[in-house]
Amino acid sequence: MEFYYYTLLAGIIAIIYALFAAYITLKKEEGNKKMQEIASAIKSGSAAYLNRQLKTIAIFAVILAILFLFLPNGYEITIAFLTGAIASYLTAYLGMNVAVRANVRTAKIAEKGTNAAFKTAIIGGSVTGFAAVGFGLIGLSLLIMYLTISKVEILIGFGFGASLVSLFARVGGGIYTKAADVGADLVGKTELNLPEDDPRNPAVIADNVGDNVGDCAGMSADVFESYAVTLVAALLIAYGISHASVINFAYPLYVAAIGVISSLLALLFINVKGDNATLAIYKGIGSAVIIAAVLDFALTWYLSLPLAYFYSVLSGLVLAILLFWITDYYTGSGKKAVVKVADAAKGGGGTDVIMGLAVGLRTTWFPAVVIAIAIFVSYISAGLYGIGIAAVGMLSLTATILTIDSFGPITDNAGGIAEMAGLQENVRKVTDKLDAIGNTTKATTKGFAIGGAALSATALFVAFAQAVGLSSIDALNSIVTIGIFIGAMMPFIFSSFLMEAVGKAANLMVEEVRRQVKTIKGLLQGKAKPDYARAVDIATVNALKSLVIPELIAILTPIAIGLILGKEALGGLLVGMIPSSFMLALFMANSGATMDNAKKYIEEGHFGGKGSDAHKAAVIGDTVGDPLKDTAGPALNSMIKVVSTISILLAPVFIAYTLL
């Protein structure tokens, strides 16, 4: 049997499981009419956004697809590109459509206690997780079947398709979710003194939609992309190093298939006992890592491959869990750093933010060191190929990670629905607890996503060098130096546009909420319903409008550098961009998470509790942290991968034509 049948099979198993999980989820009770009404508003808002985003992507995709036809093997590349894009969108679509149904069901089942609700949300989240790996493996396997191994460079089209969707989904979803969230909070909490998720707040539905389009669809596209491009990079490296060796080609795919099995088994270990939610998450990822490690070892041994291959894969697996741990260590609720920020809030919003940024900056050291070690270990084990399979090892955990992550928006929404529908105190206690767990999972999986993006970009960088035929990229060559400076700058300018977009869109949201409060009579008394759809529309339009410039920066900069300055400069750009983006993303994501949890720590009653001056200061910190952690930080993941994939994709062009 050809090797790609195994991965095809693994992909099909993943999709069967995903459909099964979706079926189980949909079978659950939906709750009372009010809950259904709210859920339906969230559902239609989310679907509307995803559809409009699709149109924007389609324009870009069609233009690019046509241009790709002019490349060598253009026809195949275009097919691969569209396959990647469609697979990514299908993942986001299926995952999110189940998530927006799992939310209300989680709220309903919360009557029966924490455990039942936890399970419902996890199963709902697992749809996204397994859809991602399923569509990824099926798409890739079919392409390999259809092409021949000798045309492996065409697979980069698949990676770029995933990258393009991810770029839009991450950027658009990120702007959407924070414009709505910040806008809702600024007026709702600060001016009108409404609690979170109060149905009188006109932006509340938009806020809940944002959780789905940002944290669920955006995140799934991001991790799907890492998964897809990592596999492609490993295949390209394998091919670049040993053209004929099928086993080197098959090995990363087998590791990915093992990831499906271990993630399925790991689902059995994700359960919450008592209050220890963090433990549940650790059990999930820990068991996935251990099972994968055992099976990967067995695989390597069975295939009589050098054990060094296994060490490379293992270094990727260990990296994943270390990044998980360090994110929790710094940003987990009640942790030392979080308390420090909460303590600084006593001095006002200024000192809160100063300390929050300080913590975010601090969080870079450990990830930088461990990723450096992982790269080194995998390299001395198996050379450049080792870096490729280390990345595959890490990303083979995708299904587990996305399951845990998608749990977040579901429980967040469940909490919102419980609040808006006025469910009983004991139900809301359960959904609040799950919401808090969801916040932790969102933060920790972000650490994985950032690390995964950096490692896969590093693998892509290696593949790029092979594709353009560079055996060294010398930092002493000043054309490379130029690239390095431009590359190091890219994450800064890119995230600048995202921060600004959130600031602007949030302000528009604030104005809209103020307008509704003023013009709709009886709104604050709960006698009249706000116009949720207007707020949803503002978030949608502005998210889609503001994503164009950053997208163009990400796509056109590498093309311009490659065409004007040539492949060495473009290599330099990747060298400068990847670490710079990794640090900036960690800084942003973790600053935001810490300030968020510092606020929650105060809300739990510390340093004066809710309504105190410290709390007001912490709310300011949380506002600043919001676009850092949910818009700019995560979008950098997509940016570095899109830049890397397009550089490889256009390698033949950069080899043939360069101005200098």
Site for a second copy in 173-202 (CB under 8 A): 182, 186, 190
Instruction: Say how many residues make up the chain.
Output: 660
Q: How far apart are the first and last CA of the chain?
A: 49
* Alpha-carbon torsion angle 331, 337, 340, 341, nearest 10: -30
Does the footprint of a second copy cover residue 556 (CB under 8 A)?
A: no
| Comparison of 122 and 357: residue with beta carbon closer to a second copy | 357
- Only segment of 11-19, 228-236, 278-286, 380-388 that touches a second copy (CB under 8 A): 380-388
Q: Smallest gap, in angstroms, from Cβ of residue 422 to a second copy? A: 29
Does the footprint of a second copy cover residue 543 (CB under 8 A)?
A: no
Does the footprint of a second copy cover residue 349 (CB under 8 A)?
A: yes
- Only segment of 79-87, 279-287, 480-488, 534-542 that touches a second copy (CB under 8 A): 480-488
Residues 149/240, Cβ–Cβ less than 8 Å? no
Those residues whose C-beta lies under 8 Å from the C-beta of residue 290, and which sit 6 or more positions away, are none
Among positions 110, 468, 510, 543, the unique one binding a second copy when judged by CB under 8 A: 510
| Comparison of 111 and 500: residue with beta carbon closer to a second copy | 500
CA distances from 281 to 267, 272, 285, 466 (A): 10, 8, 6, 39
Does the footprint of a second copy cover residue 492 (CB under 8 A)?
A: yes
H or E segment and range at residue 594: helix 567-603
Among positions 474, 529, 556, 611, the unique one binding a second copy when judged by CB under 8 A: 474
Among positions 493, 528, 556, 564, the unique one binding a second copy when judged by CB under 8 A: 493
3-class secondary structure, 299: helix
Among positions 116, 192, 339, 354, the unique one binding a second copy when judged by CB under 8 A: 354
How many Å apart are CA 605 and CA 614, to the nearest integer? 11
- Per DSSP, 192 falls in state S
Does the footprint of a second copy cover residue 342 (CB under 8 A)?
A: no
- Only segment of 72-80, 128-136, 464-472, 639-647 that touches a second copy (CB under 8 A): 464-472
Q: Smallest gap, in angstroms, from Cβ of residue 183 to a second copy? A: 9
| Comparison of 71 and 371: residue with beta carbon closer to a second copy | 371
| Comparison of 286 and 348: residue with beta carbon closer to a second copy | 348
Among positions 69, 145, 380, 564, the unique one binding a second copy when judged by CB under 8 A: 380
Amino acid sitting at position 334: G
Residues 272/345, Cβ–Cβ less than 8 Å? no
H-type alpha helices, 346-397: 349-362, 365-395
Q: Smallest gap, in angstroms, from Cβ of residue 502 to a second copy? A: 7
Within residues 383-412, the interface with a second copy by CB under 8 A covers: 384, 387
Q: Smallest gap, in angstroms, from Cβ of residue 633 to a second copy? A: 12
Query: For tokens 């490296």, what's the residue?
Result: 237
Among positions 488, 544, 598, 649, the unique one binding a second copy when judged by CB under 8 A: 488
| Comparison of 20 and 325: residue with beta carbon closer to a second copy | 325
| Comparison of 260 and 357: residue with beta carbon closer to a second copy | 357
Does the footprint of a second copy cover residue 358 (CB under 8 A)?
A: yes
Tokens of 374: 């992982």
Q: Smallest gap, in angstroms, from Cβ of residue 358 to a second copy? A: 4
- Only segment of 223-231, 373-381, 403-411, 601-609 that touches a second copy (CB under 8 A): 373-381
| Comparison of 218 and 579: residue with beta carbon closer to a second copy | 579
Among positions 15, 250, 281, 355, the unique one binding a second copy when judged by CB under 8 A: 355
| Comparison of 1 and 476: residue with beta carbon closer to a second copy | 476
Query: For tokens 């750009």, what's the residue?
Result: 573
Does the footprint of a second copy cover residue 612 (CB under 8 A)?
A: no
Among positions 475, 528, 556, 564, the unique one binding a second copy when judged by CB under 8 A: 475
H-type alpha helices, 69-113: 74-109
Site string for a second copy, 618-637 (x = CB under 8 A): -xxxxxx--xx---------
Does the footprint of a second copy cover residue 650 (CB under 8 A)?
A: no
Within residues 17-36, the interface with a second copy by CB under 8 A covers: none
Tokens of 288: 């996935």
Does the footprint of a second copy cover residue 552 (CB under 8 A)?
A: no
Provide the 10 A C-beta neighbour count for residue 56: 17
Query: For tokens 């233009």, what's the residue?
Result: 63
| Comparison of 4 and 494: residue with beta carbon closer to a second copy | 494
Does the footprint of a second copy cover residue 453 (CB under 8 A)?
A: no
Residues 192/524, Cβ–Cβ less than 8 Å? yes
Does the footprint of a second copy cover residue 651 (CB under 8 A)?
A: no
Q: Smallest gap, in angstroms, from Cβ of residue 487 to a second copy? A: 8
- Only segment of 43-51, 77-85, 414-422, 617-625 that touches a second copy (CB under 8 A): 617-625
How many Å apart are CA 376 and CA 121, to the nearest integer? 38
CA distances from 552 to 251, 497, 506, 594 (A): 36, 11, 23, 31
How many Å apart are CA 112 and CA 156, to the nearest integer? 48
Residues 497/550, Cβ–Cβ less than 8 Å? yes
How many Å apart are CA 257 and CA 319, to the nearest integer? 19
Q: Name the CA radius of gyration of the chain, rounded.
A: 23
H or E segment and range at residue 44: helix 33-68
Q: Which of 107, 118, 80 is nearest to 403 (CA)?
A: 118
How many Å apart are CA 338 and CA 330, to the nearest integer? 7
Residues 136/462, Cβ–Cβ less than 8 Å? no
Those residues whose C-beta lies under 8 Å from the C-beta of residue 265, and which sit 6 or more positions away, are 287, 288, 291
- Only segment of 2-10, 67-75, 392-400, 484-492 that touches a second copy (CB under 8 A): 484-492
Q: Smallest gap, in angstroms, from Cβ of residue 228 to a second copy? A: 23
